[in-house]
Amino acid sequence: MMKQFEVVEAPIDINRYHEYTIDEKQGAVCMFTGHVREWTKGTRTVHLEYEAYKPMAEKKLAQIGEEISERWPGVRTTIAHRVGKLEISDIAVVIVTSAPHRKDSYRANEYAIERIKEIVPIWKKEVWEDGEEWMGDQRQYHPSLEEK
């Protein structure tokens, strides 16, 4: 059984999240999937490892859903983020936003991924052929961001 906002270990089945956002009011569904990229600025990634502070991460994903509901009433959101070892092209995150009309679903979807990079306690380790490193600060968390 899926949850509306969750951190999972198993490969993500995007259809379950897509279906979750559909009801008779919604005329537009926007789905974003983030994948493991092999090449980043000339460096070859062998695989990625994601780690989460799971209960807090799920709370923060739900908070993003609430923020979206305040900004774009009528939008339904579901988000899943995978943790553990991920191979090239695996899905790391899926965000689905549905709305009566398409503009809100697009805007809400982009908002969600930006907020994930700010407030959700999930970390990525890049593993290369000759080393590895925990990534940080794609958009570093700052307390002022919390009160958006």
Partner 1 sequence: MKVMLFAGLKEKTGESRITLNTPGAMTAGELKQAIYAQFPSLEGDVFQVACNESFVKDDQVVNEDDEVALIPPVSGG
Asked if residue 47 binds partner 1 (CB under 8 A), the reply is no
Residue 23, CA distances (Å) to 10, 14, 45, 50, 133 in order:
27, 17, 40, 32, 42
CB of 86 to partner 1, least distance (A): 12
Work out which of 101, 102, 103, 117 binds partner 1, going by CB under 8 A.
117
- The residue from 3, 14, 51, 62 that contacts partner 1 (CB under 8 A) is 51
What is the smallest separation between the CB atom of 56 and partner 1, expressed in angstroms?
Answer: 4
Q: Alpha helices, DSSP H only, in the chain?
A: 14-20, 54-71, 102-119
C-alpha to C-alpha distance for 48 and 8, rounded to whole angstroms: 15
Nearest one of 115, 45, 34, 38 to 82, comparing CA atoms? 34
The span of 22-30, 69-77, 96-104, 120-128 binding partner 1 (CB under 8 A) equals 120-128
Q: How far apart are CA 56 and CA 120, in angstroms?
A: 8
**128-147: contacts with partner 1 (CB under 8 A):** 134-138, 140-141, 143, 146
Residue 78 half-sphere exposure, CB side, CA atoms within 13 Å?
18
Q: Residue 89 interacts with partner 1 (CB under 8 A)?
A: no
Q: Give the binding-site size for partner 1 (rule: CB under 8 A).
A: 32
Q: Which is nearer to partner 1, 53 or 72 (CB)?
A: 53
Edge to edge, the sheet with strand 91-99 lists: 5-8, 76-82, 91-99, 28-35
Q: Is 74 in the site for partner 1 (CB under 8 A)?
A: no
- Residues of this chain that interact with partner 1 (CB under 8 A) are 34, 50-53, 55-57, 59, 81, 92-93, 113, 116-125, 134-138, 140-141, 143, 146
